[in-house]
Amino acid sequence: MTDTLTIPARPRAFRPATTEPTMVKWALIALCLVVLTVLLLAPLIAVFDEALRRGWAFAVASLSEPDAQAAIRLTLLVAATTAPLNAAFGIAAAWAITKFDWRGKAWVITLIDLPFSVSPVVAGLLFMLMFGANSALGAWLVANGFPVVFAVPGIVLATLFITFPFVARELIPVIMEQRRSERHLCPQRRTFCRATPR
């Protein structure tokens, strides 16, 4: 027999998150803002300053140049190719990892985390060694009219390699938490319950 467990709401006493002095907190906040400004805002300001140096009219007119339009088309093509592939792989990998126990699961998790531990420079060198014109596979692809390096397939492959872990890594904790909470729900009422002996 199961009966519903009522959890009373208890007021929580206010406790500060940290015990450091106020001056230390403000110094750390200021340091974070300075680092954020130097690493993020300063390059962004430099890009906009260089782009708008000749005025808004020149910047807007430069978007109609063939090189700018080709860059925009390439960006949209790579995004439209990699986003669905990342979503499909991430959902499938997160579902398989959290819902089933199977041999090789640890290897798949390691492969998902691989782009986090490998530098993009090393990944680029890997693609050059695999698909470059000096490799056997790369030379064959170039001879048959399918170049990978310095072409759209190489850009798509590099973008996929760098971005494919993000969907899976975001979904795995969510699905695990959902399963953990579903274990405490009554299957009939979908309310929190516990088994009590008669």
**Better-scored residue on pLDDT, 80 or 2:** 80
Q: Both tokens of residue 7?
A: 């959890």
- d(C-alpha 185, C-alpha 193), whole Å: 6
Query: What pLDDT shows up at residue 88?
Result: 94
Read off the pLDDT of residues 107-139 as tens digits, 9 standing for 90 and up: 989 889 888 888 888 888 988 999 988 889 989
Decide: helix, strand or coil at residue 194: strand
In sign, the C-alpha dihedral spanning 14, 15, 21, 27 is negative
Read off the pLDDT of residues 78-95 as tens digits, 9 standing for 90 and up: 999 999 999 999 999 999
**CB atoms near residue 138 (< 10 Å):** 21
- The answer to whether residue 58 scores a pLDDT higher than 80 is yes
**Better-scored residue on pLDDT, 144 or 10:** 144
- d(C-alpha 138, C-alpha 150), whole Å: 11
- The answer to whether residue 174 scores a pLDDT higher than 50 is yes
Instruction: Decide if 123 contacts 162 (C-beta within 8 A).
Output: yes
Assess if residue 112 is contained within a domain: yes
The tally of domains found in the chain comes to 2
**CB atoms near residue 168 (< 10 Å):** 23
- The answer to whether residue 8 scores a pLDDT higher than 70 is no
What is the percentage of the chain residues whose pLDDT exceeds 90?
A: 31
Q: Which of 121, 120, 122, 142 is nearest to 131 (CA)?
A: 142
Assess if residue 10 is contained within a domain: no
Looking at the fold, whether 129 and 117 belong to one and the same domain comes out as yes
Query: What pLDDT shows up at residue 14?
Result: 59
Question: Which residues are registered as beta bridge partners of 192?
Answer: 185
Q: Which of 152, 149, 170, 147 is nearest to 81 (CA)?
A: 152
Looking at the fold, whether 69 and 111 belong to one and the same domain comes out as yes
Query: What pLDDT shows up at residue 197?
Result: 44
Last residue of a domain, one of 37, 62, 87: 62
- The answer to whether residue 142 scores a pLDDT higher than 80 is yes
Summarize the confidence of residues 152-156 as an average pLDDT: 92
Q: Both tokens of residue 120?
A: 């993009």
Assess if residue 1 is contained within a domain: no
- The answer to whether residue 194 scores a pLDDT higher than 70 is no
Long-range contacts of 146-152 (CB under 8 A, 24+ apart): 152/74, 152/77, 152/78
Looking at the fold, whether 134 and 166 belong to one and the same domain comes out as yes
In which band, very low, low, confident or very high, does the pLDDT at 198 lie, cut at 50, 70 and 90? very low
Type of residue at 114: L
Read off the pLDDT of residues 10-33 as tens digits, 9 standing for 90 and up: 556 656 666 778 898 899 999 999
